[in-house]
């Protein structure tokens, strides 16, 4: 059997193993599993083992048959834990007749079962477990993710939430923050980007219906739905999600952004909105001097606490409060002379005090306004102490950059955990774009958290298997911080986990994938494809205001600005695209022939094909633009190549419809449909002009002359 240290993620703190193995059961045989107590968490531990044994060798666990015994016990007095002050500590001792999976608490016993499940392997006609002793515990008390209310999460069903929880529980995570409201700018259809996942009592007008628009290459039809409300809003099953997670030792924490990233409420209820100097509503942020603001926000907090926190025995809430900068600053007579920082601190203190009065012992707020405006952390700490909220306040320190670019926008040296603090690395939440490797950010953030003594790691994300390597990196280093600088060791364990029969070829593919997907420029948190060439970044509207202060929204020039950039940066961005094409061939070849045909393998294959398609499309059209205008090729060559690109794009879209999680397809396919459409429109323009006896023009810096109503419809 393989050595445990070669593939377990997260890597246990201590592993002692010999070359020997023990037979647990024959194929389609039986084992016995006993529990020291009948708690929900231990029952989940048993179910985990039952599922694993059934999957690998059709082994049953009916409790009456089988010579081998697996004992799942809780024993805080075990000598193994004598020097461990950690409630999630566990050990696994395997033997010839029985294995003991012991936790200091039920949580530890659950994690012991997860590790033991990973230790099992089917070889020949037997299920084997190595002769081993594992003693393990997490370095960070809290480990998990913040699931943002963004594209993909709005359509999650209960089953999909449960699948997500199962996935994260298997990584020994114990915290999920789920955002129930957030907003951004204006994007598709000139609509404000707002996501509300709970009804607000007494205000039925507060809702965020969505549009679904894309071309289904698989079904050769347009998919178009209007006024689709988020699943959680339509049928409130959030309590069921919280209860399900609790059985797997995961605390689900509700988050509602109640100042920054808030446009729905002030837009629909202008009396509460932050004001411009002329008295008009900013339709963003609140007037923090208005008593009605507090009255309304406290109602939201009350509903969240009374419905989603206290009934489950929890005591945590997240208030958001990120990116509360000048656009959110109220300029009414009472607020205008108060600085943005002072206004924020006063509001945050009031919110935290109210949450504490409602029994909350963990009240999260984001750090960034404090760092942006260079708060005096010494004075702020004194304020928190004077207000008697220093014990419940948890600063949520988030940053997307990698250490080379400069964590916290170059202000990492000013990070000051004056109260309890948790780090929030970026694991990737834009499931509708090309997946990016963010492991440099993750490792840099967790290293900083270790240095400052932070109590937890809680990454920013949405759920998608495309982030699997990022997710497992977080699980690994948040559990065992000694692995922070061992990216090579992790990569080898990662490929051993999924591709044990082809590890070296897999490692080569993943190294090429890393080169292709990480931020090689180290100037911005996105890589060059996502930042400068992917359609999604062009879906944001340009905002302009007329003399009367009325907002006007303009579309960005896509794909024209992409080609403008490529034309003027051959040696940098064109070379980058050429690297994508080269690396893609190696990666695609591996995943197409890996011998695995599961979701993880297909997701990596989809990601590689995504990069390959983007590179080929830009390089091909850029080459046609130059050759056609130089007279080296004619219209027939342009038509032929564009037809090829359309067909290849449709093949990719068809594959995506089979691979991408159902809830994440609409926006992913909408952006793909935009790209397909400009290729179709440019080809059809050439066909029309040639048929009319005219010479088509080819100006890729602005393709408005060729774009159809379908292109406008998608945008």
| Candidate ranges 57-66, 108-117, 182-191, 576-585; pick with highest mean pLDDT | 108-117
- Give residue 286's region: left, alpha or beta (phi > 0; psi -120 to 50): beta
- Structure confidence at residue 49 (pLDDT): 97
CB contact set of 486 (below 8 Å; sequence gap of 6+): none
- Structure confidence at residue 601 (pLDDT): 97
Cβ count near 33 (within 10 Å) = 21
Among 34-48, 74-88, 540-554, name the one with the lowest average pLDDT: 540-554
Spatial CA neighbour of 326 closest among 366, 278, 282, 367:
282
**Does the structure show a pLDDT above 90 at 524?**
no
Give the tens place of pLDDT for each residue, 75-108. Answer: 999 999 999 999 999 999 999 999 999 999 999 9
Tell me the pLDDT band of 663, cut-offs 50, 70 and 90: very high
Interval 559-587 mean pLDDT: 92
Q: To the nearest whole number, what is the mean pLDDT of the chain?
A: 96
- Structure confidence at residue 523 (pLDDT): 82
**Does the structure show a pLDDT above 80 at 187?**
yes
Interval 353-367 mean pLDDT: 98
Give the tens place of pLDDT for each residue, 238-247. Answer: 999 999 999 9
Domain 4-136 has what CATH class? Answer: alpha beta
Helix (H) or strand (E) holding 575: helix 575-592
Architecture of domain 147-191+230-485: Alpha-Beta Barrel (3.20)
The string of DSSP letters for 310-358 reads: GGGT--EEE----S--GGG---STTTTTS-HHHHHHHHHHHHHHHHHHT
- Structure confidence at residue 572 (pLDDT): 80
**Does the structure show a pLDDT above 90 at 546?**
no
Interval 491-510 mean pLDDT: 96
C-alpha neighbours within 13 Å on the C-beta side of residue 580 = 28
- Cα(49)–Cα(45) distance, rounded to whole angstroms? 7
Question: Which residue in this structure is represented by tokens 């602005």?
Answer: 702
Percentage of the chain modeled with pLDDT above 70:
100
Cβ count near 312 (within 10 Å) = 15
Tell me the pLDDT band of 528, cut-offs 50, 70 and 90: very high
- Cα(332)–Cα(108) distance, rounded to whole angstroms? 54
Give the tens place of pLDDT for each residue, 264-289. Answer: 999 999 999 999 988 999 989 999 99
**Does the structure show a pLDDT above 80 at 487?**
yes
Tell me the pLDDT band of 1, cut-offs 50, 70 and 90: confident
The string of DSSP letters for 190-223 reads: G-EEEEE-SPPTT-TT----EEEEEEETTTTEEE
**Does the structure show a pLDDT above 80 at 194?**
yes
**Does the structure show a pLDDT above 80 at 547?**
no
- Structure confidence at residue 300 (pLDDT): 97
Spatial CA neighbour of 22 closest among 150, 119, 111:
119
Tell me the pLDDT band of 139, cut-offs 50, 70 and 90: very high
- Structure confidence at residue 111 (pLDDT): 98
**Does the structure show a pLDDT above 80 at 165?**
yes
Spatial CA neighbour of 476 closest among 43, 9, 59, 16:
9
CB contact set of 356 (below 8 Å; sequence gap of 6+): 363, 388, 389, 392
Q: Which residues pair with 69 in a beta bridge?
A: 32, 98
Give how far Cα 61 sits from Cα of 110, 167, 497, 528, Å: 17, 23, 25, 52
**Does the structure show a pLDDT above 80 at 656?**
yes
Interval 409-429 mean pLDDT: 95
Tell me the pLDDT band of 496, cut-offs 50, 70 and 90: very high
Domain boundary assignment for the chain:
4-136, 147-191+230-485, 531-714
Among 142-156, 455-469, 568-582, name the one with the lowest average pLDDT: 568-582
Pairing of strands 126-136, 14-26: antiparallel
Interval 113-126 mean pLDDT: 96
Question: What predicted TM-score, i.e. pTM, was given to this entire model?
Answer: 0.96
**Does the structure show a pLDDT above 90 at 561?**
yes
Interval 334-356 mean pLDDT: 96
Give the tens place of pLDDT for each residue, 147-161. Answer: 999 999 999 999 999
Angle at 519 between CA 518 and CA 525, to 5 degrees: 120
- Structure confidence at residue 65 (pLDDT): 83
């Amino acid at each position: 059997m393989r050595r445990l240290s070669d593939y377990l993620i997260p890597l246990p703190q201590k592993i002692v193993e010999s070359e020997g193995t023990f037979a647990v059961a024959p194929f389609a045989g039986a084992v016995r599993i006993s529990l020291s107590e009948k708690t929900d968490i231990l029952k989940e531990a048993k179910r985990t083992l039952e599922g694993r044994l059934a999957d690998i060798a059709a082994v049953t666990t009916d409790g009456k048959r089988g010579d081998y015994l697996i004992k799942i016990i809780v024993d805080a007095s075990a000598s193994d834990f004598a020097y461990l002050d950690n409630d999630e500590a566990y050990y696994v001792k395997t033997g010839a007749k029985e294995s003991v999976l012991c936790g200091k608490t039920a949580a530890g016993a659950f994690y012991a079962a997860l590790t033991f499940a990973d230790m099992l392997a089917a070889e020949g006609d037997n299920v084997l477990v190595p002769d081993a002793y594992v003693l393990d515990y997490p370095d960070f008390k809290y480990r998990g993710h913040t699931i943002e209310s963004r594209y993909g999460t709005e359509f999650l069903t209960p089953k999909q939430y449960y699948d997500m929880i199962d996935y994260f529980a298997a990584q020994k995570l114990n915290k999920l923050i789920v955002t129930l409201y957030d907003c951004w700018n204006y994007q598709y259809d000139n609509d404000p980007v707002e996501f509300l996942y709970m009804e607000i009592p007494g205000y039925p007008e507060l809702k965020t219906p969505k549009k679904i628009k894309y071309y289904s290459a698989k079904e050769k039809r347009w998919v178009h739905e209007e006024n689709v409300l988020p699943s959680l809003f339509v049928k409130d099953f959030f309590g069921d999600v919280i209860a399900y997670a609790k059985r797997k030792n995961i605390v689900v924490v509700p988050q509602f952004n109640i100042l920054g990233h808030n446009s729905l409420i002030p837009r629909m209820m202008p009396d509460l909105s932050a004001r411009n100097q002329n008295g008009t509503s900013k339709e963003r942020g609140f007037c923090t001097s208005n008593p009605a603001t507090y009255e309304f926000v406290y109602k939201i907090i009350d509903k969240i606490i009374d419905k989603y926190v206290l009934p489950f025995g929890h005591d945590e809430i997240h208030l958001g409060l990120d990116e509360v900068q000048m656009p959110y600053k109220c300029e009414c007579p009472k607020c205008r002379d108060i600085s943005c920082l002072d206004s924020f601190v006063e509001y945050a203190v009031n919110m935290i005090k109210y949450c504490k009065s409602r029994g909350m012992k963990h009240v999260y707020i984001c750090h960034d306004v404090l760092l942006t405006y260079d708060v005096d952390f010494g004075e702020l700490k004194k304020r928190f102490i004077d207000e008697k909220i220093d014990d419940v306040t948890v600063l949520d320190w988030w940053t997307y950059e990698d250490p080379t670019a400069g964590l916290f926008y170059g202000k990492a040296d000013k990070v000051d955990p004056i109260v309890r603090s948790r780090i929030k690395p970026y694991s990737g939440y834009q499931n509708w774009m090309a997946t990016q490797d963010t492991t440099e950010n993750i490792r840099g953030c967790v290293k900083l958290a270790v240095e400052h003594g932070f109590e937890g790691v809680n990454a920013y994300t949405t759920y998608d298997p495309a982030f699997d390597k990022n997710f497992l990196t977080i699980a690994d280093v948040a559990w065992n911080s000694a692995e922070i600088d061992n990216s090579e060791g992790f990569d080898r364990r990662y490929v051993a986990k999924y591709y044990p029969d082809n590890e070296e070829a897999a490692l080569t593919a993943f190294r090429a994938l890393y080169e292709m997907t990480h931020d090689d420029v180290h100037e911005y948190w996105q890589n060059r494809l996502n930042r400068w060439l992917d359609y999604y970044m062009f879906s944001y509207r340009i905002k302009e205001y007329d003399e009367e202060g009325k907002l006007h929204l303009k579309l960005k020039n896509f794909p024209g600005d992409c080609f403008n950039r490529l034309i003027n940066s051959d040696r940098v961005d064109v070379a980058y695209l050429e690297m994508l094409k080269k690396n893609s061939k190696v990666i695609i070849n591996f995943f197409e022939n890996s011998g695995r045909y599961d979701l993880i393998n297909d997701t990596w294959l989809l990601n590689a094909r995504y990069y390959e398609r983007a590179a080929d499309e830009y390089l091909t059209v850029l080459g046609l633009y130059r050759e056609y205008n130089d007279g080296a090729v004619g219209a027939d060559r342009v038509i032929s190549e564009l037809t090829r690109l359309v067909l290849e794009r449709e093949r990719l879209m068809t594959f995506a419809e089979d691979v991408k999680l159902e809830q994440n397809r609409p926006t992913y396919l909408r952006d793909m449909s935009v790209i397909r459409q400009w290729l179709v429109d440019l080809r059809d323009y050439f066909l029309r002009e040639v048929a009319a006896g005219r010479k088509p023009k080819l100006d890729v810096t602005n393709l408005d002359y060729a774009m159809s109503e379908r292109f406008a419809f998608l945008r």
